[in-house]
Structure 1
C-alpha cells in the first residue's frame, strides 16, 4: 500500500536574481500593503580602559555626545537605506527608534526598531540604523583606541509579510 506524502516546499532561492541569474530588484507591486516592523541590533565592544573612560565621561567625547550623535546618524541612515543598498525599495518609515545602552562593562548594545505600512519589510532599514549608529560610536571614540570592535549586527525579529521571525518587532 502506497502512502501519500505532502509535497515538499520549494527550496529557498535568492530573490534578487532574475531568471537568468542577473541582479534585479524584486517586483512588489502585487503584494498587499500591510503593517511591517523589524528590530535589529549591533554591538560595540571597547577595550577595558576605553570603556572606563567613556563611562567616566558620560559617553561624551571631544566631538560631543556620542549617544545623541549615533541616534541621529542611525536615524538618517535608516531613512536613506534605499540609497545605500541597491535593490532596497524606498519606504515611508512611520516609526523608528534607536536605543543605546551599556551591556556589561565594556560593550554598548544598539537596538533599532522600524515600522512602516508598505508592500515590503523594513529589515534592511532596522539593520542599517543599528549598524550606522555603531559606526558613529566608533568614529566618535576612535581617538581613544582603534581596537574597538563592531558586531555582531543581526536581525532580532520582523513582523508582517509572508512570515514572522524572531523577537516581537
Structure 2
C-alpha cells in the first residue's frame, strides 16, 4: 500500500455511477416490484452501502477508510429500460473515497443483475465511472 501517513486529513467526497440495461421484461418487473427475490431497488441500494464499507477488503491495496456518509440512489430510465445508479461517499482522512464510491455503484449494479437474472439473460452492466471527487492534494475532479 502507498504510505499516506504524512498526508493531511481533509474532507473527501466522491460520486460514481453505473448503468444497468435490464431490457423490457426485467425492467417492468423491477418497476412493478414483482421479482420473486423481492424489491430489487432496495436490495441493490443496501448492497451498495455495504460494498462501500467493505471496499478495502475487496480491493487488495486499497486503504481502509472510515466513511462518514454513503448514499446510493437508483433511478429508473424507462426510455432505455435501465436503472441508473449514483453512489456518493464522504470521509475525513488522508486518502480519497473514489474506490468506495466506484465499488458501491458496481456492487449495486451486480446486485440488480443477480435479482433479475432469472427473468433475463440479456442484462448489460456498464458506464461504471467516477463523476466527481473533492478534497486532497491533487485537487478536485468533475466529469464534464
Q: Does the pair score TM above 0.5?
A: yes
Q: Which residue matches 1:94?
A: 68
Q: Give, in whole Å, the separation in 1 of the partners of 2:30 and 2:5.
A: 48
Mapped to 1, the partners of 2:16 and 2:68 lie a distance apart of 17
Residue 54 (structure 1) shift: 2.8
8 A Cα contact 2:16 2:102, kept in partner: yes
Structure 2 counterparts to residues 16-95 of structure 1, below 5 A: 25-55=1-31, 57-58=32-33, 60-95=34-69
Which runs of 5 or more residues in structure 1 are unaligned? Answer: 1-24
Separation in 1, partners of 2:30, 2:52: 26
Could you tell me the TM-score, scaled by structure 2's length?
A: 0.93
What RMSD, in angstroms, separates the aligned Cα atoms of the two structures? 1.2
Q: Which runs of 5+ in 2 are unaligned?
A: none
Of residues 96, 104, 125 in structure 2, which corresponds to 1:121?
96
Q: Choose 1 or 2 for highest CA Rg.
A: 1
1:112 is aligned to: 87
Identify the structure with the greater strand proportion. Answer: 2
Once the two structures are superposed, what CA deviation does each residue of 1:106-153 show, in whole Å capped at 9, x if it has no partner? 111000000000100000000000110000000000111111000110
Q: Report whether the alignment pairs 1:164 with 2:140.
A: yes
The aligned length equals 141
Partner Cα separation in structure 2 for residue 51 and residue 31 of structure 1: 45
- Residue 25 of structure 2 contacts residue 120 of structure 2 at CA under 8 Å; is this kept in 1? no
Give 2:130's match in structure 1, choosing from 155, 158, 164.
Answer: 155
**2:65 aligns to what SS in structure 1?**
coil
Provide the rounded CA distance (Å) in 2 between the counterparts of 1:75 and 1:160: 21
Larger helix fraction of residues: 2
Q: Distance in 2 between matches of 1:40 and 1:49?
A: 27
Relative contact order, CA 8 A, sep 6+: which one is greater? 2
